């Protein structure tokens, strides 16, 4: 028998226990703070806030936009689907689970990357800890996992392995595996998006044209997966959803909705991320142009200073010659007409 722990229940007239229909209000009334992800969110927010506080204490600035991206966009979006009613119903409705999947694997990691937490850590940690962090970032394991093609392969293959094997059913039956998959979504999303969008000093960072191409290539996979789920005649997780006996939902139509969410949501997020990538590319080009202009200005100033110094050292006669006046205007050996 399937046990649906952590899902809200309502006593029916006959004494049986049934699940109430999913409504937007449930998102705000069913809060669950006892999960591993909830603990991660609290610790991450505290550490990030402490790092920003340390920088301000010593008079350094940290962009407000990065803090908002990390705390509100990143941690906030993960919290919205991991500790609310979305989490309460993610083993009951495949469509709700798919919303959670999209946020944990794409939306949250994008904003976490834009928050540049590694850069913040490198600016606030003691020297010894900073060296250890840099050693981890440049280790062989990190180089392999963050290599764009490797991260791309993991990111693309994950949902196909999850939904078209018995693994997905097992995540619905075992809460520990279910929560592990949540963490796995976040980690694989970070591995894919961090080298593409992140501002942190990571290895294997490709130039912007390569990053944009990789992002474009990821779009068809979400489309294929979403359409496959929508058109599938077989229910994901087998008889799990029908066995719940919920009169207010149809597992077949809910699966079609879930596939549509994955299809449309994947394209929307991918196009949005591509726009962010193009903006970063433009800003990087502008910074590079300004850097080149400053270098040329310095070079011209140095050349002018060297010319002035050489003229000064040559003496007044050299200055006269430079101005077009002869150094010797007359004398015993001079010839006049």
Mean pLDDT of 1-14: 36
Q: Is the pLDDT of residue 4 over 80?
A: no
Q: Pick the residue with more confidence: 169 or 323? A: 169
Task: With H, G, I as helix, E, B as strand and everything else as coil, classify residue 11.
Answer: strand
Burial class for 301, CB neighbours closer than 10 Å (0-12, 13-18, 19+): exposed
Residue among 211, 181, 47, 57 at smallest CA distance from 115? 47
Q: Is the pLDDT of residue 187 over 60?
A: yes
**How many residues comprise the chain?**
337
Burial class for 192, CB neighbours closer than 10 Å (0-12, 13-18, 19+): buried
Residue 251 CA, distance from chain mean position: 33
Q: Are 90 and 128 in contact (CB under 8 A)?
A: no
Mean pLDDT of 173-184: 92
pLDDT digits (tens, 9 = 90+) for 43-94: 999 999 999 999 999 999 999 999 999 999 999 999 999 999 898 899 999 9
For residue 336, what are the CA distances in angstroms to 325, 329, 330, 332?
17, 10, 9, 11
- Residue 189 CA to residue 319 CA, distance in Å, equals 68
For residue 195, what are the CA distances in angstroms to 140, 160, 210, 299, 334?
16, 23, 11, 34, 77
Instruction: State the Cα torsion 162-166-167-169 to the nearest 10°.
Output: 100
* pLDDT at res. 326: 53
Mean pLDDT of 222-240: 92
| DSSP letter (8 states) at residue 108 | H
Band of pLDDT at residue 229, cut at 50, 70 and 90: very high
Give the range among 4-8, 120-124, 207-211, 298-302 with minimum mean pLDDT: 4-8
- Residue 30 CA to residue 25 CA, distance in Å, equals 9
Beta bridge pairs of residue 9: none
- Residue 142 CA to residue 201 CA, distance in Å, equals 12
* pLDDT at res. 28: 80
Q: Is the pLDDT of residue 283 over 60?
A: yes
Q: Pick the residue with more confidence: 236 or 335? A: 236
Q: Are 116 and 74 in contact (CB under 8 A)?
A: no
Q: Is the pLDDT of residue 206 over 90?
A: no
Mean pLDDT of 234-253: 92
Q: Is the pLDDT of residue 138 over 50?
A: yes
- Which pairing describes strands 17-18 and 10-11: parallel, antiparallel, or unpaired? antiparallel
- Residue 106 CA to residue 124 CA, distance in Å, equals 28
Mean pLDDT of 204-211: 84
Q: Pick the residue with more confidence: 39 or 313? A: 39
Structure tokens at 8: 């809200």
- Residue 45 CA to residue 69 CA, distance in Å, equals 12
- Average model confidence (pLDDT) for the chain? 84
């Amino acid at each position: 028998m399937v046990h649906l722990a952590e899902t809200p229940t309502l006593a029916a007239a006959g004494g049986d226990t049934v699940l109430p229909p999913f409504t937007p209000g449930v998102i705000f009334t069913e809060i669950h703070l006892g999960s591993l992800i909830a603990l991660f969110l609290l610790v991450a927010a505290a550490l990030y806030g402490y790092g920003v506080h340390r920088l301000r204490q010593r008079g350094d600035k940290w962009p407000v936009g990065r803090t908002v991206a990390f705390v509100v966009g990143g941690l906030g979006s993960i919290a919205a689907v991991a500790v609310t009613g979305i989490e309460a119903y993610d083993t009951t409705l495949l469509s709700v689970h798919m919303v959670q999947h999209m946020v944990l694997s794409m939306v949250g990691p994008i904003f976490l990357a834009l928050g540049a937490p590694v850069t913040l850590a490198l600016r606030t940690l003691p020297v010894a800890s900073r060296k250890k962090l840099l050693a981890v970032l440049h280790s062989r394991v990190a180089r392999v996992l963050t290599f764009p093609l490797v991260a791309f392969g993991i990111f693309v293959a994950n949902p196909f392995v999850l939904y078209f094997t018995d693994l997905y059913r097992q995540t619905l039956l075992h809460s520990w595996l279910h929560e592990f998959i949540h963490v796995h979504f976040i980690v694989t999303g970070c591995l894919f998006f961090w080298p593409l969008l992140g501002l942190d000093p990571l290895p294997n960072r490709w130039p912007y044209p390569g990053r944009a191409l990789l992002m474009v290539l990821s779009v068809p996979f979400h489309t294929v997966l979403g359409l496959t789920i929508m058109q599938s005649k077989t229910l994901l997780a087998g008889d799990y959803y029908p066995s719940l006996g919920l009169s207010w939902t149809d597992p077949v139509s809910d699966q079609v909705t879930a596939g549509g969410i994955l299809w449309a949501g994947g394209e929307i997020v991918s196009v949005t991320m591509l726009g962010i990538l193009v903006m970063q590319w433009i800003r990087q080009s502008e910074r590079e142009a300004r850097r080149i202009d400053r270098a040329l200005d310095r070079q011209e100033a140095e050349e002018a200073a060297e010319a002035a110094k050489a003229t000064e050292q040559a003496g007044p006669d050299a200055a006269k010659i430079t101005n077009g006046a002869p150094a010797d205007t007359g004398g015993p050996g001079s010839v006049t007409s």
